[in-house]
Amino acid sequence: MAEEHQGGYKLLSRYRRELMGLAMLGVMLFHAYELELTSLPLRAFRQMGFAGVDIFLLLSGMGICCSMYRREGEPVGQYYLRRCRRLLPAFWLVVGLYSVALALAGRIRPDVILWNLSTLSYWWNIPGGFNWYVSAIVVLYLLAPFYYRLFRRCRQKELLTLAVYVVGYVLYRQTWSAGMLHLLDFFLRVPDFAMGFLLASYLEEGRKLNRRHLVFWAGTVVLSVAIVWLWRTQPVIAPLCLAVTLALVPACLVLGKLLDWLPGRWFHRFLRTVGGSSLEIYLLNVIITREFDLLAPWLDHDPIRITYYLIAYPINLVLGILLHRGLERLKKERTND
């Protein structure tokens, strides 16, 4: 029997929160649109921060599926209630206050407040809509129990996951042809969530990261590189995001191994804190990104605009962490009452 790779898939579970912290930092780096970088490698590194969203979706799918495995037979209403308690208080608070402020300033129509709070602004492409990610994750959360039932009954789980990749790509091409470009981010990322379910099944079944699996994941990296090469001349046929989704699991396994080797507790603690507060940090980061023109005169004092991010981003992290802890404390108090 092939020797098990040290750590294997368990690394993704052991360092799930740290990986989410890294993903959040990557998204923040990607959102630093106004940073004037003259070096091509640095610009490319910043651009690849968008892969943090893919890591989020992969780990979210994995976490939800593992939870469903362990709560087999739980009423679907309980699942939805847990998702709502985690997602909606922070979303309604941050997005609600921000949307009201924009409406009072005359920057959005008053009805957009409700569109944003309902998470429907993304799907209907409403001008002034907040952001696409939360709207997308809400739909994936809603569909998760139904996909889980199909996934559990399916004997060929790898083929089912591959089918999701194919369907996601077909829907991406259809929405592109129809001119519904705002939906591209969602359909290209659906396979990330499905792959998380497959990884969860590996964890629950004790599957090993053996040589056969290593060869397969190495093959996805080769295919990903080929798509990047094709993307340079055919960006519609071979979108860069597709290359990321294909190389996502190997990348996370490598990051997990690096975290396993990394000495010192403080960095792990920092990443776990960021990962645990990632929703609140993300919501605030969207605002900081959108309001650069408003905030920059107060914070921006250098040609490459790095001062803005060196000041704004630590504040973003601290406020996000404090908001998360405050909301969690309120939830516990209400539960105890």
Q: Which amino acid type is present at position 304?
A: I
Q: Is 261 helix (H, G, I), strand (E, B) or coil?
A: helix
Contact 89, 332 (CB under 8 A): no
* Averaged confidence pLDDT in the chain: 94
Q: How far is CA 285 from the centre of its chain?
A: 14
pLDDT value at position 317?
98
pTM: 0.95
Closest CA to 107 of 127, 81, 123, 77: 127
- Average pLDDT rounded to a whole number, residues 249-267: 93
Confidence class for position 228, pLDDT limits 50, 70, 90: very high
Q: How far is Cα 239 from Cα 152, in angstroms, rounded to an integer? A: 31
Residue 271 tokens read as 């990443």
pLDDT value at position 325?
97
pLDDT over 70 (residue 290): yes
pLDDT value at position 2?
39
Radius of gyration of the chain (CA): 20
pLDDT tens for residues 28-45?
A: 999 999 998 888 888 899
pLDDT over 80 (residue 1): no
pLDDT value at position 4?
43
pLDDT value at position 29?
96
CA triple 169-187-128, angle to 5 deg: 145
pLDDT over 70 (residue 3): no
- Average pLDDT rounded to a whole number, residues 116-143: 96
Say which residues have a Cβ less than 8 Å from residue 275's Cβ, sequence separation at least 6: 16, 17, 18, 19, 20, 21, 22, 23, 24
pLDDT over 80 (residue 208): yes
Long-range contacts of 4-8 (CB under 8 A, 24+ apart): 4/208, 4/209, 4/210, 5/208, 5/209, 5/210, 5/213, 5/214, 6/257, 7/209, 7/256, 7/257, 7/260, 8/208, 8/209
More confident of the two residues 59 and 298: 59
pLDDT value at position 42?
86
Contact 279, 270 (CB under 8 A): no
Q: Where are the alpha helices (DSSP H) in the chain?
A: 10-14, 16-30, 40-47, 51-70, 76-104, 111-117, 133-153, 157-177, 184-204, 211-231, 240-261, 266-276, 278-290, 292-299, 306-336
Contact 37, 290 (CB under 8 A): no
For 5, which DSSP code?
P
Q: What percent of the chain lies above the pLDDT cut of 90? A: 88
pLDDT over 50 (residue 194): yes
Q: How far is Cα 134 from Cα 56, in angstroms, rounded to an integer? A: 12
- Of all helices (H) and strands (E), which one includes residue 1? none
pLDDT value at position 337?
63
Q: How far is Cα 91 from Cα 130, in angstroms, rounded to an integer? A: 11
Confidence class for position 264, pLDDT limits 50, 70, 90: confident
